[in-house]
Amino acid sequence: MTIKDIAKQCSVSVSTVSRVLNDRPDVSEDVRRKVLSAIKNSNYIPNNSARDLVRTKSDAVGLVVRGVSNPFYTDIIRAIERTITDAGFTMVMQQIGTCDDEVKCGAVMEREKRLQGIVFLGGRFDYTPADLAMLNVPFVCCSYSNRYGTLIEGEYSSVSIADGDTAQQAVEELYRHGHRRIAALISRPNDQSISQLRYEGYVQTLESHGIPVDPELVISTGGFDVRDAYSAVKAALERGADFTALFAIADSMAIGAMRALMDAGRRIPEDCSVIAIDGLELSAYIEPPLTTLCQPMEEMGRRSAEILLDMVRHKGSHACELLPTTLPQGLREVSSSLLTSLTAVDLATLERTLEFLATSAEPVDITADALPGEWAGGHYTVSDASRAAVQSFFNLSPAAAQSASGSEP
C-alpha cells in the first residue's frame, strides 16, 4: 500500500494525503477523517525518513523486543548484537510492551531506518500471511514459533525450543519423583501463546499417566510478572488448593510462587517441589535454588541472527529450528531431602521416594519391594540389605541412610 493507493481510495490527490500526514491546517475535517480512516484500515506505513534515501545502502538490522522487563531476554540480546556486529552490520533495537504489535513496529522501523532485516524477540504465535504483508525484508522469530498461525514452513523463520515437549519433560520429572497432585502456574490456558503451549504439555503428561486435570490446580496469573504469580499462588493456597508439586511455565513466575509457598509455611522441596522452564541466572542464587529446564539463550540469539544475515546476504532461506533444553541435577536433591527429612512428613512422602527409586532411569540396584522398611514406635527403618545402595545413590552419610523418625500414619 502506497500513498498513491490511499489517495485513489479516498478520491483525493497525493498532495492532499501528504498534507493530512503532516497535519497541515488546509484540509477539511471530513477529508482528514476519511484519509486517516483509510490509512488505519489499510496498514499503510508512512515513510518519515524519505530524505535519507540519498544515502548509500543501509547496513542496519532491526531487533524488536516485545516485553520491556523480561529478564529472559538479556543474554539473547547480547548474542544477537554480537553476531550482527561481528558480521559488519549495525543493530537498531526497539523495545515495545507485551500488548503492542511487533510486526507493525518492525514495519515502521524498516522504512524509517532502512533496515535490511528484522529479528523479532518475543511475539505472537498466530501470524497469518496478511499480518506479514507489510514487511518487505527478511525476518526471524526468536524464542517463539507460529504454532497457532497459518504460515507454512518456508514462509517464515524461527528459533525456539519445543515448548510443549519441554513442559512434558518438566512434569514427567515431578511424576518420577512420586508427585501426583501437581499444580500448573500459567498465564492463561487458551491464549495462543507460550503459556498455552506449555499448559498443553502439562495436560498431556498427566493424561498419559491416567491423572485427570484438576481445575483447582491450574493457577492462572494473566501474565508473567513475579508479583502476579505470587498473588495467584497465595490466593490458591488460601482457597485450600492441595498439591505437593508445582510446575511454572517460566522462572520469574516460579520465583513468585516460591515466595508465596514459603510465606504460607510450606517448605521447598520438603513440602512442595517446584520446577520451571527458562534457566535464568538468578534462579541458581535464590534460596532454595530453583530447579529449571535451561533454554540455550546465547545459542538462540546467535542462530536467529545467523539465519537472518544469511537471508540478507542471499546465502540462505527461511529455516525453523528447535533447540534442546538441559535439566541440571536439581530434582535428585528433592528425593534426597524427602528421604532424610522424614521428621516432618508422613508415609505418603516416603512412598513417593520409594516409587522414584523403583522407576529411576539411573542404575539403582533396589526396588520398592526391596526397600519396604518398617514403622515401629514412630520410627521408619530402612532394611540393612538396601541401606548401602541408598547411601551410595544419594551420597548420604551412614547415619542419614540408616533411619528417620516421623509420625506413624
Which residues on neighbouring strands pair with residue 321, listed in sequence order? 159
Q: What are phi and psi of 220, to 5 degrees?
A: -100, 135
For the chain, how big is the Rg over CA atoms in Å? 27
pLDDT of residue 152: 85
Concatenated DSSP letters for 289-313? PPEEEEP-HHHHHHHHHHHHHHHHT
pTM for the whole structure: 0.69
Q: What's the one-letter identity of residue 381?
A: T
Gap between the Cα atoms of 196 and 144, Å rounded: 12
Show the CA angle centred on residue 198, arms to residues 192 and 203, nearest 5°: 105
Gap between the Cα atoms of 382 and 370, Å rounded: 10
The answer to whether 148 and 209 have CB atoms below 8 angstroms apart is no
Concatenated DSSP letters for 111-126? HHHT-S-EEEES--S-
The answer to whether 177 and 334 have CB atoms below 8 angstroms apart is yes
pLDDT of residue 15: 80
Gap between the Cα atoms of 95 and 84, Å rounded: 18
Which residues on neighbouring strands pair with residue 323, listed in sequence order? 161
pLDDT of residue 354: 54
Distance between alpha carbon 330 and the CA centroid of its chain, in Å? Answer: 19
The candidate with the shortest Cα–Cα distance to 322, out of 341, 340, 296, is: 296
pLDDT of residue 247: 98
Q: Mean pLDDT per 10-residue run, the chain (409 residues)?
A: 84 85 80 87 68 59 89 93 94 91 94 94 92 93 92 90 96 93 94 93 97 96 92 97 96 96 94 95 91 96 97 92 85 40 40 53 41 43 50 45 34
What would the grid cell of residue 314 be? 542471499
First to last CA, the chain: 73
Q: What are phi and psi of 285, to 5 degrees?
A: -115, 0
Give, in order, the Cα–Cα distances in Å from 253 to each of 283, 356, 378, 394.
11, 27, 38, 30
Give the H/E segment covering residue 185: strand 182-186
Cell 516485553 identifies what position?
A: 67
